[in-house]
Amino acid sequence: MSVLLVAGTRTGVGRTTTVAALAACAIAAGGASPPSVVAVKPVQTGAAPGEAADLAVVQRLAPQVDTREFARFPDALAPHHAAWVGRAPALPFADTVRHIDDLDAAYDLVLVEGVGGLLTPFDPDRRWTLLDLAADLHCPVLLVVDVGVDAVADTALAVARLEDEQIPLAGVLVGRWPAEPDLAARCAVGDLQGLAPDRRLAGALPDGLSSGGRFAARARAALGPAWGGRFDSRAFVAAQVP
């Protein structure tokens, strides 16, 4: 299985940049024989047809990556509400699983970017979530988190829910590490590391990583060795101790 589901604890934590960083590092680590990578956005909300959205950002940052989007709704709402408000068919669960399975057979790595949190519904009737998708695909989940005052509680709840559903946690990653972290952020990272597998953060992407040049090199500096990078989780956390 070469599918990784990239989920956020909430909206705005940096999932899209994370997907691009993972893809860029995987390709760079492949050297002369880079892996084939596809980034999947099952549902894009808040964007009109033809408008550049999340996958356009991924392609700009990691041009060698292919992309797939299965459904799009113009209203900036959770997918089940966006489908209902737009009077459009919701994304069918079985079709979504089948499409991702087909991509898994064709690519070395499939990165699936979630929408909202783990329990955000996709369908107003069936109300399936990312947890259902991960369970059916038998794929691990990488949690992208923030470092606000509620970050540890949000992450702990998400980790506990994954454990309850027996879905593997691939890692915990800070998606937008501030240039000037406040006391709450500096205190949070130690607790977040304690929730991660082997007590190591998967990385800490600097806020603003998607702007500026040398994206792949900067992504490698912000991702751990398991993801093709050079990030030292323990040294990073130790440096934040108030």
The CATH number for 110's domain is 3.40.50.300
Instruction: For residue 7, count CB atoms less than 10 angstroms from its CB and return exposed for 0-12, middle for 13-18, buried for 19 or more.
Output: buried
* Bigger pLDDT: 204 vs 117: 204
Please give the backbone phi and psi of residue 148, each rounded to the nearest 5 degrees, phi first. -75, -175
CA 185-54-158 angle, 5° bins: 45
The question of whether 41 is a catalytic residue gets the answer: yes
Question: Angle at which helices 15-29 and 215-222 pack, to 10 degrees?
Answer: 100
Q: How far is CA 94 from the centre of its chain?
A: 22
The answer to whether 188 and 219 have CB atoms below 8 angstroms apart is no
pLDDT of 35 above 60: yes
For residue 98, give the amino acid letter. Answer: R
Residue range(s) defining the domain that contains residue 222: 3-240
Please give the backbone phi and psi of residue 87, each rounded to the nearest 5 degrees, phi first. 50, 45
Pairing of strands 66-73, 109-113: unpaired
CA 19-40-7 angle, 5° bins: 55
Two tokens at 182?
Answer: 């406040």
What's the pLDDT tens digit per position in 206-242? 999 999 789 999 999 999 999 999 999 999 999 998 7
Domain count, the chain: 1
HSE-CB at 40 with a 13 A cutoff on CA atoms is: 23
What's the pLDDT tens digit per position in 105-127? 999 999 999 988 899 999 988 78
Q: Which of 15, 41, 80, 200 is catalytic?
A: 41
Bridge partners, residue 41, by sequence? 69
For the residues 28-32, what does the mean pLDDT come to? 86
The pTM (predicted TM-score) of the whole model is: 0.95
